[in-house]
Each structure stands twice: as structure tokens, then as C-alpha cells.
């Protein structure tokens, strides 16, 4: 080693470090992370100090205390004697209930209307576009208030409830319908339904394998649906075909028995579904239009039937375009459900608001509902990303 | 409707402001003096207590704010009002968005302690009642099992309701809507069989919002004690004192028979040492509060005494007599701590 060389290496370590890309990026990342951490620490400690200065209670101990307020509808057990934690859980399940039903309905409706807007029939196209432009351009909160007011003021009061079909009652207290009376058979029918679904999936696998091996086509879709219907039906027959109904009847102030959809839930579901449907319809339309017409022509020239062209050629390619924006719409619907607070549906935000007000612990309350919405949204995205990956074109 | 739109985001924003802003602990008085007005949280719409008619806020609760402004700034118009729903009110006060909360708010232990508030006194003694349509044929709250009941969330009313039905072993379906005017609208539309709130609120809804007040009856049961009063946040005892003694001065003025029409004459000619002290003819009380000596004079001159405020806002508008809100000398509960 020459002295010159060793002298150069004396100077260079700092310079090399400064000019080293990896080193620089590590330093920047540490700085950014440190900055974010300090900011977070400042906010948290400042909040704690402020809350303490005003003697406002802090911590999550309140979750165990008795809530002492009533909630109008719940799919899990709840009474005013339950804890605040249980009340928030009621809110979460109510949010999930309206969001999941809304997502299913909006997807079905959105697909139908989306296809209508690319139809060759002028009237269908016109109706689809009119629907989309109307409902998409009115704020969803106003739509909710409109539906709620319509149900409250448009429908008769409970004593003169509409009774279109025997046992079905419609009034400004909601929709009451008869349901099957309790019978042990029904849980077995449910089990039969699940068995049917598993059977249908197995059938699909078998038929695809046979198709690849022999080229013979088996109608797995219709036979599979048949299995899903027939298995529970047979179970029902085996249990002696119970037919007893639980019919709603007016008793005191309200109907007792049957199943009920409250005006608040109905208005919220209607508003969210009709609003989100418009976006989903647009997503579906753009997906279908993204598949070049040449694909259809090519498939036709191969002699494929038109239903097969849709199922095997157009839809798989359209889905690639449809799924990512569809995920956004699912997330929007879930988040928009928090507008329920305006019409009194006891969703998570509504219950949290009450809890915050009774306990005074707004920071904790907001933290809880932000965490819950974040988790729900992340779960939906994870699922949709997984589905998207499955649906994306396999590059060969 | 705009209120609705912002109600949820307001709660979030308010808690954010607790996160970020420093608290004005001990500085509310200075802040009010500096900005030149009192920021007052009131009900969105409750005729008789706080209601904006023709752009002008009026009511028993509104008068408390005006009186505080008159005492501190010499001008009862130096008030800015923030209309709050029951759910928003405490966060608004805690975060410093309003200086006083004068919104028919019940004084309870939890609110006084773990919410970080101080109640300055009681300006209306109330109790919770039930209102139903006459044609339901109900004559007692004990017949209400299974009823759908309209109630505002985040109130003591909501808790008393659940307690009462639990104690009597009855069921009910709560219909919980945040905005006072929306919840009464839902009741009048028939969404609920029953509307429950403080008896004064029921009278207000029936007399002012109902199409035909005679169609509704208020049931005889009063199921709770609801002492309503103005609240301030912890941390500024001086401000708390000012609000408390403003209220006392209004009541004491009624005890002495000092009204807005005779207050000048009383100050100049009265030989009663109590009246002279109250109105600042004999100085001392203003200085003790850190205010001008004419603080109470301004209150009576510009707003009136408690009885006048009650007469204009409650008796004339809602048809409610003084009842337990009469002066103690008339057998009621209104009793001013000695202003001396």
C-alpha cells in the first residue's frame, strides 16, 4: 500500500458515506420516522396533560361499566344492564349488518343496471343512465333523510297498517313479515344448505378435471345449484316438513312475533344501496366496455354460444378492470353507513356518540370507532385483493 | 340539516382540538375580556329556553348568557351563540369551543366530576315526563310497556327512561334521534307512541311544534329530578364565580323587587342597603368579582331579573306557571345565595 493511497482512504469514509445512496436513504428514513414518532408523542402527551388539567377521566375502564341506556335493535343480546363494551359491540354488529346486506344488494343491482346501460335496447339504456345520474348526484345524507321522512310520514300509522298479503304489515313502525316458527328442523336445514354448497364446489372441481381429461362438458352450474336447493329440502322433508308460521299480530302498542325491518334500518339500507348501486353500475359498464369487441367476434367465429362468450371470454377479462374500483365502492358503503346517526339507526357511531356523551371520554370513543372502521376496511381490502389476484390473468 | 351533516364530524374535530390546542385553564375571563364577547353553547331549538326566531336568540337559557355578558362586558348583546345537540355539548365546552354551556343541562355527579365541568347553579328545576297522543287512551306511564319512545341521545332523559322501565319490569323500543327538532318531528309523524324529555321540553314541543296541541297529553308521572343549569369547564374559578353570582343576582333582584323598569329609580333612591350593594350604589361587590361596580345593574337593566325572564320566556310562551321554580318566599325552590 502506498502512503498516497492510505491518505486518500483517511478522507474518504465521510465523503463515501455522504455520497453513499443506501446510507443516505437510511438516514432520511430514520429522520422521517423519528419526526413522525415525536409528533405522535407530542400529541399524546399534550392530550393527556390537557385532560388531566381539566380533570376529565381517561382510560378504557368505562367499557366494563353498566351502559344504562336502551338500544332499539340488536342482533346480539343487549339490555340497559349490559356494559358499555357490549353496547359498542351492538353498534359494530349493526354496522356490519347494514354494510354486508347493502354490499350484496348493491352488487346485484349495480351489475344489472351496469349491463342495462350497455344494452342494445334504447329504453333500457335510457332508464339505466337516468337512474345513475339521478342517484349519483344527490348527496347520500339527503337521500337517507328523504327515505326516512318518506317512511315516517308517507306510510300509515300502526293502527291502520297496510296489509298487502296475509301476515305482512307495513306501517311507519316498519315492515313486519311472518317467519317460520321455531323448530329443531331449521338448524338441520341450515346444515343441509352448507353441505349442499360444499357438494356443489366439489362437483365443479370434478367436472373441470373431467373437461380437461376428456373434453366432455358437464353442466356443473345448474346441477350445483340444484344440489344446494335439494339437500336442505330433503332434510326438511325428513323432519316432517314443519310448516308452522310465526305471524306478527298487533299487541298493545306494537306488533309482536314475525320478523321486522325497522324504519331506520330500511331507510339506511335503501339510501346506501341505491346510492352505491350507481357507482357499481358505472364500474361494471366500464369493465364490460374495456373488453375489445374483437374478443367477442373471435369467440363467435370459433362457434361458442353467446352465454359462454359472456362467461368464458368477456367476464373474466372485465373482472380484472372491475374488481379494484369495486373494492373502493364496498369500502365507501361501509364508511357511509356512519351517516346512520342522522336517522337514529344504532350503528357504531351512534352508539359511540351516546357513550362518549354519558362518560365524557370522547378521545377514547373516537379512537375506538376509528380503529373499528379501519379494521373493517382493511379486512374488506385484504379479501378483495386476494380475489383480485385470483381473477387476474395468469401470464404464461 | 347542516347541523346534522356536521354533527359526527364535529365530535371528531372537537376531540382533535383537545388533542392539539392548549387549554385556556384559568384564562376564560381574560379571553372573554380580550375578544369582547361571550361564546355560549345553547340548544338547537327549544322554545322557551333557547330558540332563534327571526335571527334573534331568546329563552331562559339564552338570558343567562346575556346576563353574563352584561355583567362582564356591560353589553348583553356581546354574546355569540353556538347551537349544540345533546351529544355535542360537553365536548364543545371541554375543548374551549364555548365559554359557557347554557343548554337545559342536568347537573349530575358524573358530569360535575369525570366530564371536567362545574355547574354554576340551577336556573330551572325540572323533571322528566311523558307525552302521548290523546287517542291512544293512555292515562299513566305504567301503561306504556312495549311502546316506541322518542328520546334524544346522550341525555339524562335517556338513562332515566331505561332505569324507569327496568324498575317497573316493562319493555320499550327507544327511537334515538340527535336533533331536538328532528326527534319531535318523528314523534308528531307517529314514529313513536311516546315522547319523553323534561316536562318543560314537552310543554315546549306541544305548545310550539304540534299542529294541534289539544291532540296530545302529558302524563302525570314525573320520573326524575332534573336541575338544569349553566356549566363551565374546570380550571377557571374566577369565571365560575362570575356565572354563579350572575345567576344569584338575577334571583336576588327578584327577591328585592328590582326589575328592568324600576332599576334606575331603585339605584338612585332606594335606601335598602342590600339593593344599594347589589346595584353598585355602595361599591365593593364588583371589585370582589373582578368586574365593574355596575355589573348587576347592567344585568337587571338589560336582561331583567329571574322572574321577568321566566315570565317572558316560559309562562307567556309555554304556558307553564312558576311551580317549584317560584321564589322560596313563595314556596318554591329559587333561593339566591346572599349577594353581599
The per-residue pLDDT for B261 is: 95
Topology given in CATH for the domain delimited by B128-224? D-Maltodextrin-Binding Protein; domain 2 (3.40.190)
Q: Do the Cβ atoms of B62 and B56 come closer than 8 Å?
A: no
Query: How far apart, in whole angstroms, are the C-alpha atoms of residue B60 and residue B103?
Result: 10
pLDDT value of residue A10? 61
User: Quick check: A353 and B159 CB within 8 A?
Assistant: no
Cell digits for A89? 359491540
Candidates B15, B44, B113: best to mutate against A (most CBs of A within 10 A) is B15
As a whole number of angstroms, the distance between CA B88 and CA A353 comes to 8
Residues in chain A: 396
Which parts of chain A fold into alpha helices (H)? 3-19, 21-53, 84-117, 122-136, 140-149, 185-214, 220-238, 263-289, 293-301, 306-308, 315-336, 348-359, 362-391
State yes or no: pLDDT of B67 exceeds 50: yes
Tell if the CB–CB gap between B191 and A158 is shorter than 8 Å: no
Does A72 contact B86 at a Cβ distance shorter than 8 Å? no
- Report pLDDT for A372: 94
Of B4, B11, B113, the CB nearest to A362: B11
Q: What is the reported pLDDT for A277?
A: 96
Tell me which chain B residues have a C-beta less than 8 angstroms from the C-beta of A338. 8
Contact list, A68 vs chain B (CB under 8 Å) = 159, 162-163
The predicted pLDDT at position A5 comes to 52
In a 3-state reduction of DSSP, which class is residue A314? helix
Residue among A54, A80, A263 minimizing CB distance to B94 = A54
φ, ψ of residue B283 in degrees (nearest 5):
-70, 165
Q: Are strands B231-233 and B124-126 parallel, antiparallel or unpaired?
A: unpaired
Question: What is the spatial distance between Cα A121 and Cα A170, in angstroms, rounded to a whole number?
Answer: 36
Q: What is the spatial distance between Cα A228 and Cα A121, in angstroms, rounded to a whole number?
A: 34
Which helix (H) or strand (E) covers residue A170, if one does? strand A169-171
- Say if the Cβ atoms of B144 and A253 lie within 8 Å: yes
How many beta carbons lie within 10 A of that of residue A37, not counting itself? 10
Beta-bridge partner residues of B197: B129
List the single residue in B with minimal CA-CA distance to A347.
B176
- Measured N-to-C along each axis, helices A315-336 and A362-391 cross at an angle, to the nearest 10 degrees, of 170
Cα gap A87→B176, rounded to integer Å: 14
SS3 for A114-166 is: HHHHCCCCHHHHHHHHHHHHHHHCCCHHHHHHHHHHHHHHHCCCHHHCECCCC
Bridge partners, residue A245, by sequence? A180
Distances (CA, A) of A207 to A96, A195, A198, A315, A316: 36, 18, 14, 20, 19
Kind and range of the H or E run holding B198: strand B194-198
Nearest to A344 among B176, B233, B234 (CB): B176
The span from the CA of B70 to the CA of B77, in Å, is: 8
Give the chain A residue nearest B4 (alpha carbons).
Answer: A342
Mutation site, A39, A44, A56, A251, interface B, largest B CB count within 10 A: A56
What pLDDT, on a 0 to 100 scale, did the predictor assign at position A241?
80
* ipTM of this predicted structure: 0.75
**Range B267-275 average pLDDT:** 93
Q: DSSP per residue over A245-283, as a string?
A: EE--EEETTEEESSEEE-HHHHHHHHHHHHHHHHHHHHH
pLDDT tens figures, B211-256? 899 999 999 999 999 999 999 998 889 999 999 999 999 999 999 9
φ, ψ dihedrals at A209, nearest 5°: -65, -45
- The C-alpha of A156 sits at a distance from chain B's nearest C-alpha, in angstroms, of 9
- Give the pairing of strands B117-119 and B231-233: antiparallel
DSSP track, B175-242: EE-SSHHHHHHHHHTTS-SEEEEEHHHHHHIIIII-SSGGGEEE-S-----EEE--EEETT-HHHHHH
Query: Looking at residue B99, what is its pLDDT?
Result: 95
C-alpha–C-alpha distance, residues A269 and A333, integer Å: 10
For residue B142, the SS3 value is: helix
Query: Are B166 and A80 in contact (CB < 8 Å)?
Result: yes
* Cβ count within 10 A of residue A59: 8
Q: How far apart are CA B42 and CA B85, in angstroms?
A: 9
Determine the residue among A42, A140, A261, A357 to mutate to test chain B binding: the one whose Cβ has the most chain B Cβ atoms within 10 Å.
Answer: A357
Q: How far apart are CA B237 and CA B244, in angstroms?
A: 10
Coil, helix or strand for A201?
Answer: helix
Q: Identify the closest residue of chain B to A71 by CA–CA distance.
A: B174
**For A187, which DSSP code?**
H
CA distances to A31, A83, B114 from A62, rounded to whole Å, are: 38, 8, 11
Q: Which residues in chain B are contacts of A71 at CB distance < 8 A?
A: 174, 176
- Kindly list the residues from chain A whose CB atom is less than 8 angstroms away from the CB atom of residue B154: 353-354, 356-358
Given a contact cutoff of 8 angstroms between Cβ atoms, the answer to whether B260 and B301 are in contact is yes
CA dist., res. B126 & res. B310, Å (int): 14
The answer to whether A253 contacts B163, with C-beta atoms less than 8 Å apart, is no
**Cβ(B109)–Cβ(B239) below 8 Å:** no
**Which residues of chain B neighbour A72 with C-beta distances below 8 Å?**
173-176
- Measured between CA atoms, how close is B107 to chain A, in angstroms? 13
Q: Are strands B172-176 and B128-133 parallel, antiparallel or unpaired?
A: unpaired
Grid coordinates 338575577 are at which residue? Answer: B250
What is the pLDDT at residue B250? 97
Which of B148, B172, B233 has its CB closest to that of A54? B233
Fold of B2-125+228-330: D-Maltodextrin-Binding Protein; domain 2 (3.40.190)
Contact A51 B18 (CB under 8 A): yes
What span, in angstroms and rounded, lies between the C-alpha atoms of B120 and B248?
10
Mean pLDDT of chain B: 89
Q: Which residues of A touch B91 (CB under 8 A)?
A: 356, 362
Confidence band for B23, pLDDT divided at 50, 70 and 90:
very low
As a whole number of angstroms, the distance between CA A246 and CA A258 comes to 5
Which residues are within 8 A (CB) of A248 and not within 5 positions of it... i.e. 6 or more apart?
A: A167, A169, A176, A177, A178, A255, A256, A257, A258, A260
In this prediction, residue B246 carries a pLDDT of 97
Residue B223 has phi, psi (to 5 degrees) of -100, 5
- Residue of A342, A344, A356 lying closest to B175 (CB–CB): A344
Map out the domains of chain A as residue ranges.
3-53, 84-141+267-391
Residue B95 C-alpha, separation from nearest chain A C-alpha, in angstroms: 10
Sign of CA dihedral B119, B125, B129, B135: negative
Q: Secondary structure of B248-287 in the HEC alphabet? A: HHHHHHHHHCCCCCCHHHHHHHCCCHHHHHHCCCCCCHHH
Report the gap between the CA of A355 and the closest CA in chain B (Å): 7
Q: In chain B, what is the straight-line distance between the N-terminal and C-terminal CA atoms, in Å?
A: 47
Number of CB atoms found within 10 A of residue B223's CB: 20
Query: Could you tell me the residue ranges of all domains in chain B?
Result: 2-125+228-330, 128-224
Q: What is the mean pLDDT of residues B26-45?
A: 91
Grid coordinates belonging to A263: 324504519
- Are A357 and A366 in contact, with CB atoms under 8 Å apart? no
B168 pLDDT more than 60: yes
Question: What is the model's pLDDT at position A55?
Answer: 76
pLDDT band at B6 (very low <50, low <70, confident <90, very high): very low
Three cell numbers, residue B230 = 349553566
Contact A173 B115 (CB under 8 A): no
When CB atoms are compared, the residue of A252, A357, A359 closest to B87 is: A357
Q: Which of A394, A184, A243, A54 is nearest to B117 (CA)?
A: A54
Superfamily of domain A84-141+267-391: MetI-like (1.10.3720.10)
- What is the rounded (10 degree) CA torsion for A190, A195, A201, A203? -130
Residue A46: its pLDDT value, please?
A: 86
Dump strand ranges (E) for B216-310.
216-218, 226-228, 231-233
pLDDT in tens, chain A (396 residues): 445 554 555 667 777 887 888 888 899 999 999 999 999 999 988 888 888 877 777 888 889 999 989 998 998 999 989 999 999 999 999 999 999 999 999 999 999 999 899 888 899 999 999 999 999 999 999 999 999 999 988 888 887 888 888 888 888 888 888 888 878 888 888 898 999 999 999 998 998 888 888 888 888 888 889 988 988 888 888 888 887 888 888 877 878 878 889 999 999 999 999 999 999 999 999 999 999 989 989 999 999 888 888 888 888 888 888 999 999 999 999 999 999 988 889 999 999 988 988 888 888 999 998 999 999 999 998 998 898 888 876 665
Amino acid at each position: 500500500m502506498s502512503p498516497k493511497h492510505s491518505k486518500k482512504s483517511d478522507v474518504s469514509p465521510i465523503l463515501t458515506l455522504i455520497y453513499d445512496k443506501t446510507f443516505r436513504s437510511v438516514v432520511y428514513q430514520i429522520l422521517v420516522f423519528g419526526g413522525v414518532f415525536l409528533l405522535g408523542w407530542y400529541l399524546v402527551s399534550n392530550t393527556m396533560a390537557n385532560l388531566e388539567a381539566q380533570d376529565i377521566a381517561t382510560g378504557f375502564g368505562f367499557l366494563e361499566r353498566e351502559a344504562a341506556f336502551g338500544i332499539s335493535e340488536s342482533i346480539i343480546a343487549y339490555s340497559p344492564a349490559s356494559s358499555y363494551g357490549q353496547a359498542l359491540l351492538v353498534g359494530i354488529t349493526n354496522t356490519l349488518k347494514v354494510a354486508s346486506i347493502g354490499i350484496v344488494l348493491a352488487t346485484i343491482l349495480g351489475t344489472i343496471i351496469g349491463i342495462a346501460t350497455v344494452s342494445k335496447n334504447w329504453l333500457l339504456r335510457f332508464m339505466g343512465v337516468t337512474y345513475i345520474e339521478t342517484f349519483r348526484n344527490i348527496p347520500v345524507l339527503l337521500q337517507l333523510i328523504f327515505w326516512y321522512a318518506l317512511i315516517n310520514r308517507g306510510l300509515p300509522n300502526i293502527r291502520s297498517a297496510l296489509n298487502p298479503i296475509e301476515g305482512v304489515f307495513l306501517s311507519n313502525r316498519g315492515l313486519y313479515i311472518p317467519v317460520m316458527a321455531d323448530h329443531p328442523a331449521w338448524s338441520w336445514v341450515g346444515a343441509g344448505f352448507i353441505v349442499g354448497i360444499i357438494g356443489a364446489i366439489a362437483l365443479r372441481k370434478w367436472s373441470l378435471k373431467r373437461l380437461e381429461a376428456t373434453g366432455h362438458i358437464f353442466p356443473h352450474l345448474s346441477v350445483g345449484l340444484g344440489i344446494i336447493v335439494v339437500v336442505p329440502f330433503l332434510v326438511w322433508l325428513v323432519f316432517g316438513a314443519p310448516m308452522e308460521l310465526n305471524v306478527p299480530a298487533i299487541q298493545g302498542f306494537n306488533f309482536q312475533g314475525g320478523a321486522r325491518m325497522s324504519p331506520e334500518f330500511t331507510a339506511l339500507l335503501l339510501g346506501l344501496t341505491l346510492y352505491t348501486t350507481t357507482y357499481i353500475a358505472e364500474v361494471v359498464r366500464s369493465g364490460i366496455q374495456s373488453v375489445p369487441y374483437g374478443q367477442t367476434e373471435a369467440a363467435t367465429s370459433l362457434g361458442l354460444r353467446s352465454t359462454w362468450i359472456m362467461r368464458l371470454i368477456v367476464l373474466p377479462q372485465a373482472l380484472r378492470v372491475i374488481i379494484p374500483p369495486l373494492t373502493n365502492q364496498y369500502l365507501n358503503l361501509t364508511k357511509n353507513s356512519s351517516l346512520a346517526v342522522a336517522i337514529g339507526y344504532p350503528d357504531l357511531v351512534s352508539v359511540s356518540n351516546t357513550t362518549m356523551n354519558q362518560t365524557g371520554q370522547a378521545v377514547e370513543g373516537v379512537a375506538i370507532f376509528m380503529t373499528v372502521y379501519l379494521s373493517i376496511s382493511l379486512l374488506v381490502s385484504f379479501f378483495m385483493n386476494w380475489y383480485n389476484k385470483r381473477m387476474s390473468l395468469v401470464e404464461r | 340539516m347542516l347541523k346534522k351533516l356536521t354533527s359526527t364530524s364535529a365530535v371528531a374535530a372537537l376531540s382533535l382540538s383537545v388533542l392539539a390546542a392548549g387549554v385556556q385553564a384559568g384564562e376564560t375571563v381574560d379571553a372573554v375580556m380580550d375578544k369582547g364577547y361571550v361564546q355560549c353553547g345553547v340548544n338547537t331549538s327549544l322554545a322557551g329556553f333557547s330558540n332563534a326566531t327571526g335571527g334573534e336568540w331568546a329563552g331562559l337559557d339564552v338570558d343567562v348568557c346575556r346576563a353574563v355578558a352584561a355583567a362582564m362586558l356591560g353589553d348583553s348583546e356581546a354574546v355569540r351563540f353556538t347551537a349544540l345537540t345533546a351529544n355535542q355539548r360537553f365536548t364543545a365546552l371541554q375543548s374551549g369551543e364555548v365559554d359557557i354551556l347554557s343548554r337545559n343541562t342536568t347537573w349530575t355527579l358524573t358530569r360535575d366530576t369525570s366530564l371536567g365541568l362545574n355547574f354554576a347553579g340551577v336556573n330551572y328545576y325540572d323533571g322528566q315526563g311523558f307525552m302521548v297522543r290523546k287517542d291512544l287512551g293512555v292515562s299513566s306511564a305504567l301503561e306504556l310497556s312495549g311502546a316506541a319512545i322518542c328520546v334524544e341521545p346522550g341525555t339524562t332523559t335517556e338513562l332515566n327512561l331505561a332505569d324507569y322501565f327496568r324498575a317497573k319490569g316493562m319493555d320499550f323500543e327507544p327511537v334515538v334521534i340527535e336533533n331536538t327538532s328532528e326527534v319531535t318531528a318523528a314523534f308528531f309523524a307517529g314514529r313513536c307512541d311516546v315522547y319523553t324529555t323534561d316536562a318543560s321540553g314537552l310543554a315546549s314541543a306541544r305548545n310550539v311544534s304540534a299542529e294541534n296541541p289539544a291532540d296530545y297529553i302529558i302524563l302525570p308521572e314525573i320520573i326524575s329530578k332534573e336541575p338544569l343549569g349553566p356549566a363551565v369547564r374546570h380550571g377557571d374559578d374566577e369565571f365560575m364565580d362570575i356565572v354563579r353570582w350572575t345567576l344569584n343576582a338575577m334571583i336576588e333582584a327578584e327577591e328585592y323587587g328590582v326589575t328592568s323598569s324600576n332599576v334606575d329609580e331603585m339605584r338612585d333612591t332606594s335606601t335598602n342597603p342590600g339593593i344599594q350593594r347589589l346595584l353598585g350604589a355602595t361599591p365593593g361587590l364588583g371589585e370582589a368579582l373582578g368586574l365593574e361596580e355596575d355589573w348587576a345593574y347592567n344585568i337587571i337593566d338589560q336582561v331583567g331579573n329571574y322572574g321577568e325572564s321566566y315570565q317572558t320566556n316560559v309562562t307567556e310562551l309555554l304556558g307553564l306557571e312558576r311551580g317549584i321554580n317560584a321564589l322560596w318566599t313563595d314556596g318554591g325552590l329559587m333561593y339566591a345565595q346572599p349577594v353581599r
